[in-house]
Amino acid sequence: MEQIQKLFATQSNHAFDFSVFSNRLEQKDYDKNAIILKSGQVEDYLYFVEKGMLRFYIEKGEKEITFDFAFEGNFTSGYSSFLTRKPAPYFIQALVATSIWRISYTDLQEVYKGNEQGQMIGRLAAEQLFIRKTARELSFLSQSAEERYLHLLHEQPQYIQQIPLKYLASYIGITPQALSRIRQRIN
């Protein structure tokens, strides 16, 4: 909880009654491999990852495609579903035992209404998510698979080694075999 409060304190230049928001936060723990959101469900929460990490994936025929991760200190959500109130086409899963804080859609609307500064929460989340997606788009257009892997290693060194290679490969856009060979080449 202090993590979130600290984040707001650094972002906000106005006094902000944090309790309006925090009173509606709910803490949840998930076991390793637990499914947090099932494909076909409407996402009802915005999450803040306190500890652990999450994986986002879609099922495409036989195989899973991992397209996102969320680490400690990130805001995350099945965000397009959360915003549009339509079923999400993907799954969210805990990669390790994970603790999150979450706020429901309706509660977040209340925070928006009740407090001038409340919008900041939504804005912070939206900005973080959008900027990440844009950076990732450019990585596909301008970098090789090896560069994407090295960038990922550099950006999130403490978490990457805990993630199974097959998920990383999928996230980078290559097969597990290809990533295995990249690893052997750079070591």
Partner DNA sequence: CGCCGAGTTGAACTGAATCAAGAAACGTGG
Partner DNA sequence: CCACGTTTCTTGATTCAGTTCAACTCGGCG
Site residues (vs DNA, CB under 7 A): 32, 144-146, 164-166, 173-184
Between CA 83 and CA 79 the distance in angstroms is 6
From the list a second copy, DNA, none, pick the one residue 129 interacts with, judged by a Cβ distance below 5 to 8 Å according to partner type.
a second copy
Q: What minimum distance in Å lies between the beta carbon of 63 and DNA?
A: 9
Q: Is position 96 an interface residue for a second copy (rule: CB under 8 A)?
A: no
Q: Are strands 91-94 and 35-37 parallel, antiparallel or unpaired?
A: antiparallel
Q: What minimum distance in Å lies between the beta carbon of 75 and a second copy?
A: 13
Of the pair 92, 103, the CB lying nearest DNA is at 92
Q: For tokens 């998930």, what's the residue?
A: 30
Q: Are strands 98-104 and 45-51 parallel, antiparallel or unpaired?
A: antiparallel
Contacts for 11 with CB less than 8 Å, ≥ 6 apart:
120, 124
Q: What minimum distance in Å lies between the beta carbon of 164 and DNA?
A: 4
Q: Is position 59 an interface residue for a second copy (rule: CB under 8 A)?
A: no
Q: What minimum distance in Å lies between the beta carbon of 78 and DNA?
A: 22
Of the pair 48, 90, the CB lying nearest DNA is at 90
Burial of 39 (0-12, 13-18, 19+ CB in 10 A): middle
Q: Is position 105 an interface residue for a second copy (rule: CB under 8 A)?
A: no
SS3 174: coil
100 within 8 A of 49, measured Cβ to Cβ: yes
Q: Is position 177 an interface residue for a second copy (rule: CB under 8 A)?
A: no
Q: What minimum distance in Å lies between the beta carbon of 168 and DNA?
A: 8
Burial of 136-156, coded b for 16+ CB within 10 Å and e otherwise, reads eeebeeeeebbebbeebeeee
Give me the residues that bind a second copy (CB under 8 A), please.
58, 60, 65, 67-68, 79-80, 83-84, 112, 119, 123, 126-127, 129-131, 133-134, 136-138, 140-142, 170-171, 173
